[in-house]
Amino acid sequence: MRHARAFAIAGLAALTAAAVAYAQSTTMPLEEEVPVETAPLEALTVEQILEGTTWGDPENGAALAATCAACHGMDGKSTVRDIYPSMGGQSEHYMAQQLALFKTGERQSPIMAPFAQMLSGQDMRDVGAYYATQATDTGLADDTVVESGPYEGLKFYEIGQQLYHGGDAGRGIPACMACHGPTGAGNPGPAYPQVAGQPAWYAAQRLEAFREGATLRSDTSMFDIMAQVAADLTNEEIQALASYMEGLHPRPDAATRAAMAQVEVPAPAAAPAPAADGAGEGEAAADGGAGAPAADEAATDAAQEEAAGDQGSAEPAGRA
């Protein structure tokens, strides 16, 4: 019996050893994994990134913009105007081009670069198409009166207003509106960007970079245009231009202005002044009829202004 038990244990051990040996010598196929995408050894240019792209898809752009929303807002309005620029109303072409510049490193930003690296050229077009459908952001221009210097007596934004609409022929500075439009909406064809409503600090930062004249872009044609424009601008003029563009917005149409003119603004109550016998009644009657046509005249004026065309205007700080 003792020998039989020993033989049984030895047999079990041999069977276990055989099973382990079989398992070690048998290969089990692994599940196939998705091939890893490899980046090209040579960096792509902006033209190569956007080559073959089609008009952007705003719906896909909206999904991609969820990543952008923390800084630029889903509606394209900066979540913190002192830190981030606004994207609403910007042209698809310009946005795609700038995202490609961030991806290649030709426009440098430690914040934007990693986000741009994740996007394909078509993704960039889609994001641009989405933000192009959003409303333009709005801001206020600085109407502080300049107390000294060549622009003494002007409101600060009026310095920028003069340069934006008229330039300075004596210094060879063209009017900004020639490319960016009277309302700052830009020109989507040659990718001249929208500048209206952009935070003043951001516009000033870009103008200062153009004035310095240094760029990493391989194609400098667009940069050179702005570098030449900004070369002779003073610090005061750059800040004033940026302030004016922040408050720049389309003028309401004639119907809207006429409706605004009809809104009654209650006059402040005044204490009645003592009057001579009979004088109070006559004066009151005269006063009652004097202001009646005011609203109609304002409405007529608003309608007549429409003949001058729909031009941009700046909203100075503090106005309603």
- The answer to whether residue 216 sits within a structural domain is yes
Query: Are 178 and 61 in a shared domain?
Result: no
Query: Are 168 and 68 in a shared domain?
Result: no
- pLDDT 10s digits, 238-282: 999 999 999 998 877 788 888 888 887 676 666 666 655 544 444
Range in 34-38, 50-54, 262-266, 268-272 the model is least confident about = 34-38
Phi-psi region of 79 (alpha: psi -120 to 50; beta: other; left: phi over 0): alpha
Query: How big is the CA angle at 193 (ends 192 and 197), to the nearest 5 degrees?
Result: 145
- The answer to whether residue 278 sits within a structural domain is no
Query: Are 165 and 84 in a shared domain?
Result: no
Is residue 19 helix, strand or coil? helix
pLDDT at position 58: 98
Handedness of CA 140, 144, 145, 149 (dihedral sign): negative
247 in Cβ contact with 314 (< 8 Å): yes
Query: Are 100 and 183 in a shared domain?
Result: no
Range in 49-53, 83-87, 303-307 the model is least confident about = 303-307
- The answer to whether residue 206 sits within a structural domain is yes
Q: Residue length, the chain? A: 320
Query: Are 126 and 159 in a shared domain?
Result: no
Last residue of a domain, one of 103, 132, 161: 132
- The answer to whether residue 107 sits within a structural domain is yes
Is residue 312 helix, strand or coil? strand
- The answer to whether residue 11 sits within a structural domain is no
Query: Are 104 and 226 in a shared domain?
Result: no
Last residue of a domain, one of 83, 109, 132: 132
Give me the CATH number covering residue 146: 1.10.760.10
Is residue 4 helix, strand or coil? helix
CA gap 247, 240 in Å, rounded: 11
DSSP secondary structure letters along 273-286? PP--TTHHHHHHHH
CA gap 118, 99 in Å, rounded: 10
The domain of 239 spans 138-264+308-320
Helix H, strand E, coil C: the string for 101-123 is HHHHCCCCCCCHHHHHHCCCHHH
CA gap 133, 90 in Å, rounded: 8
- pLDDT 10s digits, 209-225: 999 999 999 999 999 99
Instruction: Give 228's DSSP letter.
Output: H
CA gap 2, 8 in Å, rounded: 10
Confidence grade of residue 62 (pLDDT, cut at 50, 70, 90):
very high
Strand pairing of 248-250 and 312-314? antiparallel
Query: Are 86 and 156 in a shared domain?
Result: no
Nearest to 47 by CA among 271, 244, 219, 267: 219
Last residue of a domain, one of 110, 132, 154: 132
- The answer to whether residue 21 sits within a structural domain is no
Query: Are 143 and 246 in a shared domain?
Result: yes
Residues 6+ apart with CB under 8 A from 269: none
- The answer to whether residue 237 sits within a structural domain is yes
131 in Cβ contact with 87 (< 8 Å): yes
Query: Are 84 and 143 in a shared domain?
Result: no
Q: How many domains does the chain have?
A: 2
Query: Are 219 and 252 in a shared domain?
Result: yes
Residues 6+ apart with CB under 8 A from 220: none
Query: Are 315 and 187 in a shared domain?
Result: yes
- The answer to whether residue 294 sits within a structural domain is no
Query: Are 314 and 214 in a shared domain?
Result: yes
The answer to whether residue 107 scores a pLDDT higher than 60 is yes
Q: What is the pTM of this model?
A: 0.72
pLDDT at position 19: 60
